[in-house]
Every structure is written in structure tokens, then in C-alpha cells.
Amino acid sequence: MARLTVNGRVEEFEAEPDTPLLWVLREQLGMTGTKFGCGIAQCGACTVHIDGVATRSCVMPVSSIEESQKIVTIEGLSPDGSHPVQKAWLALDVPQCGYCQTGMIMAAASLLETNPQPSDEDISAEITNICRCGTYNRVRAAIHMAADEKAG
């Protein structure tokens, strides 16, 4: 049995050591909010936080993560969808199909932790997730809105 700390709980599971974190989350642990889009860390649909850092979980072997490291997925970002990023996303009705949006939200939440008031240039540089529906301008606006709320 291997162990990981996900959303504040120690989870036990069986998986080959080279299994990407994405698939352990989705299959062994049943948390499907983290999405599979490309498998090569290009699209960002699989973004989770590891010790607060936005990480593309589809290329991260579980064996490379210590039990002491804190993994947060979309399911654990807030208990009830009340994270400032989620609230801004709701206020601006950002998602279209929505498939990429959990990864987008996790990337945005991580950005605001390290850069509480990102400029447009910062957002362009840091939010590299792919959305095919084309929500980018509302993603940008929602990040600014969430930054403003966090700043009070």
C-alpha cells in the first residue's frame, strides 16, 4: 500500500510506482474532478496543487510524492465552492463545456497564492491551460475579480 495526503486526508492505495498522480486520483481514489486531457502536461486539465504549487498531475509519478506532501484537488479547494476563484468563476459564468475549468481554477488559485494581484501579463504568462471552447477572456476577468476579493 502506498500513501498520499490528499485534501487533508491520508489515502491508501495500490498502484504501480510509475502511475501518474492523475490516474491514482481518478481511479484508485475516485476523485474525477481532476481531468485527463493530453497525458503530456500540455493542456493543464489535470492541474492540482502539491504543497501549494500548481502541478500537472498527468506526468507526475506517485512514487515521486512523499506522504508528507500536501496534495489539493478541485474537490478540496473549498468545502462548498466558496474559494474566491470559484466564486468569481460563478459570478462571471465562465465555463462553457467546463471540462478544462477545474484545472483552470486550480491554476488560477495557485497563481493568486504567489502573486495576489497579477497583471494581465502575469496571467498570460502563468495560465497556459488549454480551453477549446474559448473562455480565456472570462478566465482573465475572473482572476482579476478573485484577486480583488482576496485583497478585501
Q: What residues line the site for another protein (CB under 8 A)? A: 15-16, 19-20, 23, 26-28, 30-40, 42-43, 45, 73-75, 77, 81, 86, 89-90, 93-102, 105, 123-125, 127-140
Q: Least distance in Å: CB of 123 to another protein?
A: 7
Question: How far apart are alpha carbons 4 and 57 in whole angstroms?
Answer: 13
Residue closer to another protein (CB basis): 55 or 73: 73
Question: How far apart are alpha carbons 97 and 27 in whole angstroms?
Answer: 22
Q: Least distance in Å: CB of 86 to another protein?
A: 5
Residue closer to another protein (CB basis): 55 or 101: 101
Residue closer to another protein (CB basis): 30 or 68: 30
Q: Least distance in Å: CB of 25 to another protein?
A: 10
Q: Least distance in Å: CB of 66 to another protein?
A: 21
Neighbours of 9 (CB within 10 A): 9
Spatial contact of 110 and 49, defined as CB atoms under 8 Å apart: yes
Instruction: Put the strands of the sheet holding 53-56 in their side by side order.
Output: 9-13, 2-6, 70-72, 47-50, 53-56
Residue closer to another protein (CB basis): 27 or 66: 27
Residues 6+ away with beta carbon under 8 Å from 152: none
Q: At what angle do helices 101-114 and 136-151 cross, to 10 degrees?
A: 40
Residue closer to another protein (CB basis): 68 or 77: 77
Q: Least distance in Å: CB of 31 to another protein?
A: 7
Question: How far apart are alpha carbons 19 and 61 in whole angstroms?
Answer: 5
